[in-house]
Structure 1
Amino acid sequence: MSLALAPLPRRAAALVPVLPLVAVPALLALPLTGDGAGPADVASALVVGYCVIRLLRERRRPLSATAALVLGLPVAGIALAALGASSPQAGLTGMGRYLQVFVLVPAAVLMLVRDRAGFRVLAWSFVGLAGWQGAVGVHQYVTRTGASYQGEDIRAVGTFGAEDVMGMATAVSLGLVCAVGIALGRAPVRQRAAAAGCALVLLLPLALSFSRGAWIATALTCALQLALAGLRRALRVAAAVAAAGVVLVGGFGVGTAQLQERMDSIAQVTDAPDQSVVDRYALWASAAGMWREHPLTGVGLKNFPEYRDGHATLALSSGSDVEGAGAEYQRQALLSPHSMYLLVLSEQGLIGLLTLAGSWLALLVCGVRRLLRVRRHGPGLDCGLVACGVLVWLLTDFVYGDIGGPSTVLTAMGLGLAAWWALAGGERWDVVPRGGLRDRDEEAVSR
């Protein structure tokens, strides 16, 4: 006698494809082992394979023409730059990484997220990862077991270690942006309150990451989210953030001296820059020199280290110091310009930059247009604020950061969230029905 399994409810069935996506940020919570592909990178590859299998079984068109054009635009520049790599292996490796981050994983997220409920589950997984990494980072600061900063092992790096000091800052920042977007939306009151609480709590580990770039990108993004959500909400949230800052820094004296010095250094990048800023300027100049010599196609994928010294100034140091958080002292080579735009410009030339940046700009324009359409009465405001916020954070961070390390897979997932909001054509949820709002899960807000 065989037992037939009852079909899942419609809402639960829609969430099933999202579960493999949630596994990616969940695996980033694990401590890193080895220098190769981490569990999250492997999971992202499996997600792409899972997506292909589902498409074959369901026999449906994978992407709309617009989505295929926007997400497929970078392929041309990446493939052309791969031909200029120093070796076939380097070309294939570089092309695979770029396709993973900017094409395949975002497309998989776009196709596997079926509705707003699935989107919110994935956004909350970002918040959960940020909370865990932030808790580890705060513990590192309190117990002085973090990465070395000004001779003290106090820099919060989470499970990413001293070799990837931007990993925790990226995870916490993206989680904070997701939490702010949910809090400013029209979700039930308890969910919005929980998201607002998470956002306030995440301010502490973000501060203790001592990452000036993450601070700037997060402040800019959250200010934009507040402006898009409305003036009254913006004022209330700004007051809450200011109060939390006073309590954390003024009341408890959390990292007062180091934080003040780090904040002051933001304004000193031209007057009296520290060595990290000097190195960054030198790397930027080197990338610009490569582009001037190879303006259209660049020097080829993964060729920046080979051409760096030939275009760098004498101010460039041999590397950065890495120590703490379980790592022995070592010098970490400077193998990229620490600017995604300049990395693409130097290795892929104008063709590569225009295709990649064109794809990102198309996502931003489509996403903001849809957000403005639903801002007053339409459902999905929280999804729009999260998606546009994540994309703005990434595009801002790309000015002084690039891909590299285990946290890079979060970039791919974030671009997928933005792509779903901007390009998903299966739902007409941007159209407001006559006489009203709302999703069932948003009706409670008006009561």
Structure 2
Amino acid sequence: MRLNEISIERIHTWAFYLLCGFALFSNISIAIANIFLGTLTALVLFRLWRKHDDWKNALPDGHIGIALLILMGAVILSSCFSTDISRSLRFFGDYYGYRMLALYAVMLMIWEKRQLAFIGVCVGISFFINDLAVIFQGLVQGNYRASGFSIYMSVGGFLSMLLPVLVLLLLSGRLDMRYRILAAVTLVIGCMALLFNGTRGAWLAVPIATFICAAFLIRDRKKLLVGTAIGALIFAGIFAASPALSSRFATIGDTKMQSNSERFLLWTSAAHMFADHPVFGIGFAGFKEAYQGQYILPEAKEPYLEHAHSNVMHMLAECGIIGLAALLFWWWTCLSYGFRTWLATHEIAALLIPAILLGLILQGLTEYNMGNSAVMKLHWLLMGLCLQWLQLNEGARRFSR
């Protein structure tokens, strides 16, 4: 069979299988996940070669699509003012091309809700397996910064996005009983993994993101407050009973702890970069060279850090006020779309968008998770699944315009 004789339907089927494979390894193996994603890249290019008149379907509709293009444009503009333009543009291609490929592929080639749901289940299986490994490392090996098969901070990002999603799915009552039980078990395992992973940013991001989104889901404020209080008491009891957890939690506000003080120094250096380059920043992907070569403070004890440990400060340093404004506009557009669509249609996929994004934003206040390849690949897949689910509903679709 010639390449030009392969049907579009068959290409879409292959894309579905590759997305399932990527989702299945998204939490447990960067290398294997990249094999699926790399193959998917070739398939997307082949799909566009075979049929390219619908290429716009790969992008979100309406205001969300516009906000995304504005963000990309701001990053490209910043790259043009970089001291190493080619490097900045290469990183742009990685961050907004390859790492976002799952979103493009889902929106271009996955047109059945059953397939969207199955890809989501594969993500859940991957999450569950890695969380079991995290718990084993914590309980058996006494590792309170456990990472399972992944990397410590990556697991914090996974937990920050997926735990609020699981809570909302369970509270919504939209799951069948068999899936509800599996989701509940996965949630409990995930909460245990959250404790043993020890990512302080995730400890704060998960409850805050969950509470904000649950406030839109649960109309009875008394039930919301009682449920929140019960959850807080359970975790407070666990922290009180574990000296290792309580001492780790106490460091959140300890400005003298090196991890915290080093962040303040990084943010100060990032502010200096912004002061010198306020409009376009030092150039996308230029933080490492600028920090280590010019802006590192004499008090810094870790001279080889590569990012600002904050999405906001990192964007401000690299892309200036133009980049930060575009990023904030992107966040606001997604959050407002998700909340407005939920209030109008009560489609749970709409409420999952702010849950996923708030988890990323809140953990990213003290960590540059937007630069974490594994976290962002999963983030874009999750966003693509939710957006495409809503795109298939005409009632929800109009709110993106």
Short-chain TM bin: 0.7 to 0.9
The answer to whether the aligner puts 1:60 opposite 2:54 as a matched pair is: yes
How far residue 225 of structure 1 moved from its aligned partner, in angstroms, is: 2.6
The answer to whether the aligner puts 1:414 opposite 2:382 as a matched pair is: yes
Q: Which structure 2 residues correspond to residues 322-361 of structure 1 after superposition, within 5 A?
A: 333-361=304-332
The answer to whether the aligner puts 1:127 opposite 2:124 as a matched pair is: yes
Q: Which residue of 2 aligns with 1:76?
A: 73
Q: Which structure 2 residues correspond to residues 364-403 of structure 1 after superposition, within 5 A?
A: 364-375=335-346, 380-381=347-348, 383-402=349-368, 403=371
Determine the C-alpha separation between the residues in 2 that align with 1:305 and 1:297: 17
Identical residues among aligned pairs (%): 20
How far residue 126 of structure 1 moved from its aligned partner, in angstroms, is: 2.8
Distance 1:305 1:14, change over 3 A: closer
* Letter of the structure 2 residue corresponding to residue 100 of structure 1: G
* Letter of the structure 1 residue corresponding to residue 88 of structure 2: G
* Letter of the structure 1 residue corresponding to residue 322 of structure 2: I
How far residue 249 of structure 1 moved from its aligned partner, in angstroms, is: 5.8
Q: Which residue of 1 aligns with 2:147?
A: 157
Contact 1:72–1:103 under 8 Å retained in 2: no
Q: Which residue of 2 aligns with 1:307?
A: 290
The answer to whether the aligner puts 1:94 opposite 2:95 as a matched pair is: no
The answer to whether the aligner puts 1:170 opposite 2:167 as a matched pair is: no
Q: Which residue of 1 aligns with 2:301?
A: 317
Determine the C-alpha separation between the residues in 1 that align with 2:134 and 2:24: 17
Distance 1:420 1:356, change over 3 A: farther
Determine the C-alpha separation between the residues in 2 that align with 1:50 and 1:74: 26
How far residue 66 of structure 1 moved from its aligned partner, in angstroms, is: 4.5
Q: Could you say what secondary structure the match of 1:62 adopts?
A: helix
Q: Which residue of 1 aligns with 2:43?
A: 50
Determine the C-alpha separation between the residues in 2 that align with 1:414 and 1:139: 27
The answer to whether the aligner puts 1:274 opposite 2:260 as a matched pair is: no
How far residue 157 of structure 1 moved from its aligned partner, in angstroms, is: 1.0
Normalising by structure 2, report the TM-score: 0.82
Distance 1:18 1:273, change over 3 A: farther
* Letter of the structure 1 residue corresponding to residue 187 of structure 2: A
Q: Which residue of 2 aligns with 1:296?
A: 279
Distance 1:75 1:430, change over 3 A: closer
2:243 is matched with which residue: 247, 254, 257? 257
Distance 1:358 1:419, change over 3 A: farther
Distance 1:427 1:53, change over 3 A: farther
Distance 1:279 1:345, change over 3 A: same
1:427 is matched with which residue: 384, 387, 393? 393
Distance 1:360 1:115, change over 3 A: farther
Contact 1:101–1:408 under 8 Å retained in 2: no
Contact 1:127–1:178 under 8 Å retained in 2: no
Give the structure with the larger helix fraction.
Answer: 2
Contact 1:133–1:158 under 8 Å retained in 2: yes
- Residues 379-402 of structure 1, C-alpha deviations (whole Å, 9 max, x = no match): x32x22322210111122222221
Normalising by structure 1, report the TM-score: 0.75
Unaligned runs of 5+ in 2: 1-8
How far residue 65 of structure 1 moved from its aligned partner, in angstroms, is: 5.3
Give the structure with the larger strand fraction.
Answer: 1
Determine the C-alpha separation between the residues in 1 that align with 2:62 and 2:236: 50
Determine the C-alpha separation between the residues in 1 that align with 2:237 and 2:117: 30
Moved more, 282-291 or 410-419: 410-419
Contact 1:115–1:427 under 8 Å retained in 2: no
Unaligned runs of 5+ in 1: 1-9, 33-37, 147-153, 320-332, 432-447
Distance 1:391 1:48, change over 3 A: farther
Return structure 1 stretches of 4+ with deviation > 6 angstroms.
Answer: 13-16
